[in-house]
Amino acid sequence: MSLLFTPFTIRNVELKNRIMMSPMGTLAAGEDGKVTEWHKLHYGARALGQVALIMLEVSAVMEQGRDSGSLGIWSDDHIPKLKELTELLHAQGSKAGIQLWLAGRKTNRQGMAVSASEIADRERVARVLTLEEIQDVIYAFKAAAIRAAAAGFDVIELHAAHGYLLNDFLSPYTNKREDQYGGTREKRFRLLQEVITEIRGVWNGPLFVRVSAEEYGPEGNRVEDYVYYASRMKELGVDLIDVSSGGVYPDKPKVYPGYQVPYSEQIRRGSGLPTAAVGLITSGLQAEEILQNGRADLIAVGRELLRNPFWPRVAAEQLGINIDEPAPYRGHWFDYRHAVSE
């Protein structure tokens, strides 16, 4: 049996394979931030396709911290529709994750940009968060974690990458503060540390953190910084680092198949925490190599799952194995001698 299709247990949750749907913003929600029928079709198709862990797109923990069209979890009113979605995914054997997030300076809403320090982005200037507002942010993440538990999610992921608010506090490029939340690497970590601590007080399930392990610009964090951050997060009860890169500076990195996998491998080996690898991972053979060589524990698939919700079946075929099919498809996924209509 390949590692890609071997079950993986993290804290109190067993995943049926090592495939995770990478969180990808669709901006398909209304202004109320609630789950729609479209989200049920979108995520439900990937559950039908046998993805083990489906990580929902960015979900705002504060109404003023969202993008137009993003999902929300800032209100108890969001819980019923989110619960309908988690129950749908569970019915197909998938686990459900939610990515908690604040847009910060990268919001698409005029006049709502905030950050650790004053910095222009998308031709707008971000307002600096006060110490009182920082406490509001911490509470909002905690409250969102309580709602995530009520909605039936199995995994919570904090989005601390790509130049969004938590990332801006971590990065020396965007954090020029001179108070307890800025300056040294440890002080820049303080906001994320306090968010993790508060969530761990109300959430017993797996806790992931997505990071930009390489910020690419001259002042940005490097993977060595994230080995340090990951080691600190391990002490705080984080279970896995979802390893991405970029998004802090406006410049885009050069991309190629597996271009972020070395960062996953280095953080995994340096911190002792499990990692998820992401970034142009498109074939079963490529995913299997990453796992077999100890470069990651989960494979986070993004655009390839947008193109093909049944990518796990394709990956299994490439690895020469059969996997369980949805019951209505039984006998047809891997046997092309018979038509589905028979």
Question: Alpha helix (H) ranges present in 16-130?
Answer: 37-48, 79-91
CA distance 135 to 128: 14
Q: What is the pLDDT of residue 337?
A: 42
Residue 122 has pLDDT above 90, yes or no: no
Residue 192 resides in a domain:
yes
pLDDT for 123 equals 62
Q: Is residue 220 domain-resident?
A: yes
Question: Quick check: 341 pLDDT over 70?
Answer: no
Among 6-20, 82-96, 103-117, 274-288, whose mean pLDDT is lowest?
103-117
pLDDT for residue 339 is more than 70: no
Q: How confident is the model at residue 334 (pLDDT cuts 50, 70, 90)?
A: confident
Q: What is the pLDDT of residue 335?
A: 65
Which among 42, 52, 17, 55 is positioned nearest to 155, based on CA atoms?
Answer: 55
| Residue 340 covered by a domain | no
Please write the tens of the pLDDT for every residue from 217-275: 888 999 999 999 999 999 999 999 999 999 998 877 889 999 999 999 999 999 999 99
First-residue to last-residue Cα distance in the chain? 30
Full residue range of the structural domain in which residue 296 is found? 8-329
Plot region of 123 (φ>0 → left; ψ -120 to 50 → alpha; else → beta): left
Quick one: pLDDT at residue 163? 92
| Tokens found for residue 194 | 């306090």
Q: Is residue 201 part of a domain?
A: yes
For residue 134, the model assigns a pLDDT of 98
For 72, residues 6+ apart whose C-beta sits below 8 A from its C-beta are 29, 32, 33, 34, 59, 60, 63, 66, 78
**Domain presence at residue 15:** yes
pTM of the model as a whole: 0.95
Q: Are strands 120-121 and 155-160 parallel, antiparallel or unpaired?
A: unpaired
CA distance 23 to 21: 6
CB of 120 closer than 8 Å to CB of 64: no
Residues 11-44: pLDDT tens digits?
A: 999 999 999 999 998 999 988 999 999 999 999 9
CA–CA distance, 248 with 270 (Å, rounded to integer) = 23
Number of domains in the chain: 1
Average of per-residue pLDDT across 149-156: 98
> Residue 264 falls within a domain, yes or no?
yes
Instruction: Specify if 104 maps to a domain.
Output: yes
Percent of the chain with pLDDT over 90: 84
Tell me: pLDDT of 336 over 80: no
Considering the domain boundaries, does residue 52 fall inside one?
yes
Condensed to tens digits (0 to 9), the pLDDT of residues 270-310 reads 999 999 999 999 999 999 999 999 999 999 999 999 999 99
Which CATH number do you get for residue 117? 3.20.20.70
- The vertex-317 CA angle with 316 and 323, nearest 5°, equals 45
